[in-house]
Amino acid sequence: MYKNRLYLIENKTSLHVGSGDANFGVIDKQIQRDAITEYPTIHSSSLKGALREYIMHKLECPIKRDKDKDEKYTEEEQSRYNQVAHIFGDDEQSGKVRFIDAHLLSIPMRSDLNPYYHCVSPKSIELLVDFADTFGLTLEDKEALTALANYSDDALLVSKESPVIEDFQATSNESYDLSVLEGIVGSPVALVPNKKYAELLKNLPIIARNQLENGESKNLFYEEVLPRKSKFFTVISEPTYLNFDDKDRLEKAFEKFATYLMDNDTIHIGANASIGYGVCKFKEL
């Protein structure tokens, strides 16, 4: 049994969480994608690593001491390290908290009437509703979300006007209430049919990067990124089946962890922090 929390992740700057796969196409470094939908994703291992790094800094937690060199913690350092180890694990124990892949919910797309629309697909909404059901979480306006998940028309749907979004004509339809989506991802929002959404996601921004060796330019490489203001959802779970001592320690650590995620601090996810990639914020849904 687990106590589950549903989070929304927004990247405030371009995001590159690399797939690590060999690629012989034009793009040298591709982002992680879901194996079924092919939507951009953040694998749980990447998410866990980023959050561990964030909490280590938040707690000013020292790195693991080398027992062979008889390096020891102070009592306060040991307490902080134990909190991190209890959640994420270390060489001596596995982490008690479960991290789930983060799935794409919305992505900003350019428009003629607004700088961009937060674009969501019926499949994205279906995944969100399914996640909530799977992990026993309650979504507000679930019926309205389910109705949008069942949207099957070919037209891009918006609340008002008729913008062109990335060369696709959109239309408004009062039969569908998009306000529930605006409450989650922001305004203005567009509901994009699954087929068109998949097409849009195949053509994400590509940035040319310069590889340097000893300060000398050697080669250009091309990196795929997710534009800022994209949003993911994920679930982080605390086990409730532990023995009393472990449960008491984890509850204290997990509550602090959940509180830290809701701070105004930004969390870095993915590569290239030195050039400002991957600055993200978390929000509990």
For 265, the 3-state DSSP assignment is coil
pLDDT value, residue 221: 78
Residue spans per domain, the chain: 1-16+44-100+225-285, 108-203
pLDDT band at residue 213 under the 50/70/90 scheme? low
Question: Residue 265 pLDDT more than 60?
Answer: yes
pLDDT of residue 267: 93
Separation in Å, CA 126 to CA 178, 223, 252: 15, 30, 34
What pLDDT does 21 receive?
A: 61
pLDDT for position 143: 93
Per-residue model confidence (pLDDT) at position 239: 76
Q: What is the DSSP-derived secondary structure letter of residue 219?
A: E
Matching residue, tokens 């949008």: 148
One-character DSSP codes across 153-206: -SSEEESSS--EETTEEEEE-TTS--HHHHHHH-SSEEE--HHHHHHHHTS--E
Average pLDDT over residues 195-221: 80
- HEC sequence for the chain: CEEEEEEEEEECCCECCECCCCCCCCCCECECECCCCCCEEECHHHHHHHHHHHHHHHCCCCCCCCHHHCCCCCHHHHHHHHHHHHHHECCCCECCCEECCEEEEEEEEEECCCCEEEEECHHHHHHHHHHHHHCCCCCCCHHHHHHHHCCCCCCEEECCCCCEECCEEEEECCCCCCHHHHHHHCCCEEECCHHHHHHHHCCCCEEEEEEEECCEEEEEEEEECECCCCEEEEEEEEECCCCHHHHHHHHHHHHHHHHHHCCCCCEECCCCHHHCCCEEEEEEC
The pLDDT of 250-278, averaged and rounded, is 82
Q: What is the dihedral of CA 181, 187, 191, 195, to 10 degrees?
A: -120
Q: What is the C-alpha to C-alpha distance for residues 266 and 280, in angstroms, rounded to an integer? A: 5
CA distances from 187 to 115, 120, 169, 180, 190 (A): 12, 12, 18, 10, 9
In this prediction, residue 256 carries a pLDDT of 74
For the segment 231-263, what is each residue's pLDDT rounded down to a tens digit? Answer: 999 999 887 766 656 666 666 666 777 788 888
DSSP 92: S
For residue 59, pLDDT over 90 is answered with no
* Per-residue pLDDT reduced to its tens digit, 4-36: 999 999 999 999 998 766 555 556 688 999 999
Measured CA to CA, the distance from residue 229 to residue 252 in angstroms comes to 32
Which of 141-150, 211-220, 271-280 is the least confident region?
Answer: 211-220
Pairwise CA distance, residues 136 & 3, whole Å: 9
pLDDT band at 285 (very low <50, low <70, confident <90, very high): confident
**Is 229 buried (19+), middle (13-18) or exposed (0-12) by CB count in 10 A?**
middle
Q: How confident is the model at residue 75 (pLDDT cuts 50, 70, 90)?
A: confident
Give the pLDDT score at 246: 62
Q: Give pTM, 2 decimals.
A: 0.88
- The residue ranking higher by pLDDT, 79 or 112, is 112
pLDDT digits (tens, 9 = 90+) for 150-169: 999 999 999 988 999 999 99
Model confidence over 88-144: pLDDT tens digits?
Answer: 888 777 888 899 999 999 999 999 999 999 999 999 999 999 999 999 999 989 999
